Structure 1
């Protein structure tokens, strides 16, 4: 499947920004190929972590040039002790010892996060090999949340027939309460604005406007009220519209919306879909990707001080390229 018009526009925009991205999983073949593509197309300047010998030999065997790519082996890097000391300072209040800090930053994800934290790169993309937890944990420990005590969540950019949608949360917050769900909604609406997607935000449920009654429905109803208040307090004038609770068809099909929710300000044209929990979100994005042939990029993290993004371990080379370009734009 070729690139959608939307992701190509993101890539073209990233080329103009000339930012630097860390790819910590340089020992993975897909990541190496993605690094080559990103480098050749001028999407970003790449720092590739892993065995210098293995990466050099792999590039040579493919006839690819490493010119413009920085290759670092964390375990032999001259920056190792400096980063270990800095990580110790960040975490000593949590009881970490200097020798534990040193062992931690020998790991590629921790070393890569320290590069970003030090301002020596603009963002990081991982997850082709590592689990979401192994990507998010060092991000929370080193990059940290943008607002103290705030929820850090994730979203997917899902392109269906060249129409981009935000799906959230599909990769991180397992069972958000109403307050967390409202934060996720506002974060996702702001992420939509960042990528030129209309921030028409639907709080999804199996119920539309009280057509069913249960604690599950009540959570989404309360989250909708809180999200509307957050928009009014935190980001007025941005054009963010939040409505719910809505069934999916009432959220994205105008004809259905006219029957089920005629008073909805979304009018069946929601582009930001907020799922009530991780089960619903994760299953839904994979159904759309695998059965409808949509492009899916993510999980993309929101609510951090600097851009760090995750990948599915089933990702393709083009997925990595796309997420790297997205990360460049998040750096602004």
Structure 2
């Protein structure tokens, strides 16, 4: 884990990004900002009351144009720090956005969908998280112990197409972090040990990924132990 985090930090230091913090007054965020500044990892961008910010009126107008919203709705949205911070990002006032400590996922994701939107090649928004295996675990098949799990935050019951999109998008994300992706579509079945409808959905998604992206190494459906341990998955 230390090696992976060290690599990420070194990349960040070489080209510090402007990171907008939607909750810059929150105690944990302030502490994080102090660490970021001390280590030179990024350039934090914070703001106070959105309604008193010099960009507020301009953002209200832009939101009205972007969403066809009434002035009342636009003002209400721009007073929300998550919407305001997202508009800052959309207007090029930062390179990335950090949000989350005080708000549920829905409040953090909706502003991005309404203002930033998705790249054309991405059909669905999905979330992922890193899991770094401890040093005493065999890491041969796990990129030095670094795994990406998706989607554990956004899509509640994805269909076959969405599962395939999530797998492909997560593989592309792994590449951005210098990880060569080996994709496993997880289920409670391995290689046909069950024919439950949910298993069939995962199986079909794996086939779809292979047909769309033959360049990727993809397996599924399989249980997590089979995905991580060759002696079980073989």
| Fold agreement, TM-score > 0.5 | yes
Q: 1:188-199 residue pairs with structure 2 within 5 A?
A: 188-199=170-181
Q: Does structure 2 retain, via aligned residues, the 8 Å contact 1:165–1:197?
A: no
**Counterpart-to-counterpart distance in 1, 2:37 and 2:44:** 7
Correspondence for 2:102 among 129, 137, 142: 129
User: How far apart in 2 are the matches of 1:20 and 1:225?
Assistant: 40
Name the SS of the counterpart of 1:21 in structure 2.
strand
Q: Which of residues 65, 76, 97 in structure 1 aligns to 2:52?
A: 76
In the alignment, the residues of structure 1 paired with residue 18 and residue 12 of structure 2 have an alpha-carbon distance, to the nearest angstrom, of 10
- Is 2:188–2:199's contact at 8 Å kept on the other side of the alignment? yes
Matched, 1:9 2:10: no
Give the CA deviation at 1:156. 0.2
Is the contact made by 2:122 and 2:165 (CA closer than 8 Å) also made in structure 1? no
Separation in 1, partners of 2:97, 2:31 = 17
Q: Which runs of 4+ in 1 moved over 6 A?
A: none
Return the alpha-carbon distance in structure 2 between the equivalents of residues 21 and 193 of structure 1: 22
1:167 matches 2:149? yes
Alpha-carbon offset, residue 148 of structure 1: 7.1
2:203 to 221, 243, 257: 221
What whole-Å deviation, never above 9, does each CA across 1:86-127 have from its counterpart, x for those lacking one?
1111110xxx20121012111111110011100111110101
Please report how far the alpha carbon of residue 4 of structure 1 lies from its aligned counterpart in structure 2 after TM superposition.
2.1
- 1:265 — aligned with what? none
Q: CA RMSD in A?
A: 1.4
Which residue matches 2:16?
18
Query: Secondary structure in 2 aligned to 1:103?
Result: helix
Report which stretch shifted further, 172-181 or 141-150.
141-150
State the partner residue of 1:28. 26
CA contact (8 A) 1:35 1:48 kept: no
In structure 2, distance between residues paired with 1:144 and 1:31: 26
Q: Give the number of equivalent residue pairs.
A: 225
Which residue in 2 is equivalent to 1:89? 65
Q: Aligned partners of 2:31 and 2:97: how far apart in 1? A: 17
Matched, 1:252 2:234: no
TM-score by length of 1: 0.66
Between 1 and 2, higher relative CO (CA 8 Å, sep ≥ 6) is seen in 1
Do the aligned partners of 1:88 and 1:98 also contact (CA within 8 Å) in 2? yes
Asked if residue 40 in structure 1 is aligned to residue 16 in structure 2, the reply is no
Q: Secondary structure at the match of 1:49?
A: coil
